[in-house]
Structure 1
Amino acid sequence: MKKVQPQDSWRESWKYSYPYDLLEIYGEMSYRGYAYAYANRRQHTLELVQKIARPGAKVLDVAAGQGNFTLSLAELGYEVTWNDLREELVDYVKLKWERGVIHYAPGDIFSLGFEGCFDVILITEIIEHVAHPDDFLYKIAQLVKVGGYIVMSTPNGEYFQNRLPKYSDCPDPSQFEEIQFQPNADGHIFLLHLDEVELLAKKAGLTVVETRLFTNTLTNGHLKLGTVLKLVPRNWVDACESFTRSLPFSWRKKIHTGMVCLLSRSSDITS
């Protein structure tokens, strides 16, 4: 993946994306909590894709933004389709492209005629921005082939510092329709709990194959640990992360901020 240099002539969406690229792929460590959390999410997401699909498989990256997962998977040999509502980001992704097969499909993914086209679909950090996560996951499930997989990452709603509502406790999600699809944590509507993931998957005709919880309070710099994080060597942070991921499940779901779920589609989905 090429490293690009910002230009005054860039579009605003490019300028907005670039600071995230610095943290996510270019090694900037000014906000270590974010950088470490993203590195964990990236590692587990790519591992799951490689676990269930060989290079050459067709992968759809939904709401892919500046395309870092798209580019990484293309470099690993997958045939990737990049999608985002912001068409102007296509040329930004192309600036960073170095090798691999990428198709570009900007726009509303559900109106592009992709039903049953993909071996793997990525929905990373999206479902928490959606007012109707049940409808969203159901529609996504129709885009994956029978026998294919969805890799979904989202913040863990059972993390002990979560203050957002549980989706299943909300009697009228439509009240959030006007504010959905907002970027970053300010746009989070619900943070899903593990039991809700199971229910949403079942409703969408999917099966939860594997769930990974990751990024503990120290790794993310929460509870004012950001200052400590600047002083602790990276290998110590990784050791702490490995330790907390080995704890009993009842503890893990309380002290980890993120989750990535592998979902499978084993049969046709009825409308």
Structure 2
Amino acid sequence: MKTITLQNHWLESWKQSYSYDLLEMYGETSYRGYSYAYAHRYKHTLELVQKVARPGAKVLDVAAAQGNFSLALAELGYEVTWNDLREELVDYVKLKWEYGTIRYKPGNVFTLGFDAEFDVILITEVIEHVAHPDLFLKKIAQMVKPGGHIVMSTPNGEYFQNRLPKFSDCPDPSEFEAIQFQPNSDGHIFLLHLDEIESIVHQAGLSIHETRIFTNPLTNGHIKLGKLLNFLTPSWVDTCENLTQSLPLVLRKKIHTGVAILLTRIA
């Protein structure tokens, strides 16, 4: 993946994407908590794909934005389809492309005619932006081959600082339709709990293959711990993360901010 440099003539959406690339891929240290959290999500997502699919498998990356997962998987030998509502980001992603197979299919993923043709579908940090996560997952499931897989990451709704509503407690999710599909954390509608995820997964004809919960308040820079990250080495931060990963599940669900889940479509 090529490293690119900001240009003044870029579109505003390109400049915003580049600001995230600085934190996610290029080593910008102004917000270390975000960078550590993204690194964990990136690592777990790629590991889960590689766990169930060999190079050459067809992967769809939904709401792929600046394409970091798409580009990485293409370089690992997968046949990747990049998708995002923002068509203008196609040329931004192409600037970073170095090698590997990527096709670009911008637009509403549900109107592009995909029908059970992918071995793996990525929905990373997407489902929290939709008003009907249950219906969203059902539609995504229809685009993966029987026996294929979905890798989903989303903020952990059971994290002790979460103040957003629980999807299963909302009598009429349609009231949120006007604000769905907004980018960044400002667009979060529901942060799903693990029991809710299990329920909507089964409704969609899927099964849970593996669940990973990750990123504690230190590694995410929460509760005023972000300043400590300026003094701690990455090895110390990783040690802290490994320690909290060894806690009982009931505690891990409360103190970790992210979850990555490997799903399988029931044949």
Q: Deviations over 1:23-53 (max 9, x none)?
A: 1111111100000000000000000000000
Alignment of 1:230-269 (within 5 A): 230-267=230-267
Q: Give the structure 2 partner of residue 113 of structure 1.
A: 113
Q: Give the structure 1 partner of residue 64 of structure 2.
A: 64
TM-score (norm 2): 0.99
SS at match of 1:211: strand
Q: Give the structure 2 partner of residue 6 of structure 1.
A: 6
Alignment of 1:143-162 (within 5 A): 143-162=143-162
Point out where structure 1 has 5 or more consecutive residues left out of the alignment.
none
> Shift of residue 246 of structure 1?
1.1
Q: Give the structure 2 partner of residue 169 of structure 1.
A: 169
SS at match of 1:107: coil
> Shift of residue 155 of structure 1?
0.2
Q: Give the structure 2 partner of residue 94 of structure 1.
A: 94
Q: Give the structure 2 partner of residue 83 of structure 1.
A: 83
Q: Give the structure 1 partner of residue 128 of structure 2.
A: 128
Identity of aligned residues (%): 73
Moved runs in structure 1, 4+ residues, more than 3 A? none
2: CA distance, partners of 1:97 / 1:36:
24
> Shift of residue 6 of structure 1?
1.0
> Shift of residue 9 of structure 1?
1.1
2: CA distance, partners of 1:54 / 1:244:
31
1: CA distance, partners of 2:28 / 2:78:
27
Q: Does 1:140 align with 2:140?
A: yes
1: CA distance, partners of 2:83 / 2:218:
33
2: CA distance, partners of 1:9 / 1:229:
34
2: CA distance, partners of 1:16 / 1:219:
24
2: CA distance, partners of 1:102 / 1:27:
25
RMSD: 0.6
Q: Does 1:210 align with 2:210?
A: yes
2: CA distance, partners of 1:93 / 1:184:
18
Alignment of 1:6-85 (within 5 A): 6-85=6-85
2: CA distance, partners of 1:266 / 1:129:
25
Aligned length: 267
Point out where structure 2 has 5 or more consecutive residues left out of the alignment.
none
> Shift of residue 140 of structure 1?
0.2
Q: Does 1:224 align with 2:209?
A: no
> Shift of residue 100 of structure 1?
0.4
2: CA distance, partners of 1:26 / 1:219:
18
1: CA distance, partners of 2:184 / 2:37:
14
TM-score (norm 1): 0.98
> Shift of residue 232 of structure 1?
1.0
2: CA distance, partners of 1:86 / 1:187:
16
- Equivalent AA in structure 1 for residue 122 of structure 2: L
SS at match of 1:218: helix
